[in-house]
Amino acid sequence: MLKKILFTVMAIAAVVVLVGYIFPQKVHVEVAHTFKADKTLVYDQIHDFKNWNNWSPWYQIDPNAKYEFSDRSIGAGAWMKWESDNKNIGNGQIDIIEESLGHDLVFEISMPEFDTKDRGEFILHEDAEGITVVWSMESDFGMNPIRRIIGSMMVEPQLEKSFTDGLNNIESYLENQRAITEVSK
């Protein structure tokens, strides 16, 4: 009887490992949104960490999270740390590693409790339709089959929703600011 149980457990573990390796090691999430707003206003929300809580979907989940900023909250070398008791937010740090002033922003995000270090970017493109912002991030789940399954089935859709919400929140924030400015005229 014990042999059957042990064999069943080992067979299930083998199936999980094999299925895990079917899932990709890396997951790329990308969401685009076009704004009918001044490019500078859009860019200012993205490139300055101190503006992120105006629109961050994670700030809405836990407005009581604690934030710490580097001396400069903008540009390459700037960073923001957060600590949250909410398991959906956790603790982490985001660093700006490259910035093309007025255009693009490349960042690296690390969350120790999830043992992750991911790379992402905001790309801004101006055309006749307005300002299109592409927010993307690539996560590497390594060779761990369980992380690959969770990353593909849970993390990817959650990030896509969060990115969509964040870009929509920027638009709402800018519209509210525009309305406040018009009322105060």
pLDDT higher than threshold 90 for residue 156: no
Of the listed ranges 110-114, 126-130, 132-136, 171-175, the least confidently predicted one is 110-114
pLDDT of residue 185: 59
Mean pLDDT in residue range 21-30: 78
- Domain 25-183 in CATH 3.30.530.20? The answer is yes
Helices 156-183/39-47 angle, 10° precision: 130
Percentage, residues of the chain above pLDDT 90? 52
pLDDT of residue 105: 93
**Where does the pLDDT of residue 107 fall: very low under 50, low under 70, confident under 90, or very high at 90 and above?**
very high
Mean pLDDT over each residue of the chain, to the nearest integer? 86
Instruction: Please state the pTM of the whole predicted model.
Output: 0.83
Question: Average of pLDDT values for 78-105?
Answer: 90
Q: What is the pLDDT of residue 159?
A: 87
pLDDT digits (tens, 9 = 90+) for 168-183: 999 999 998 876 666 6
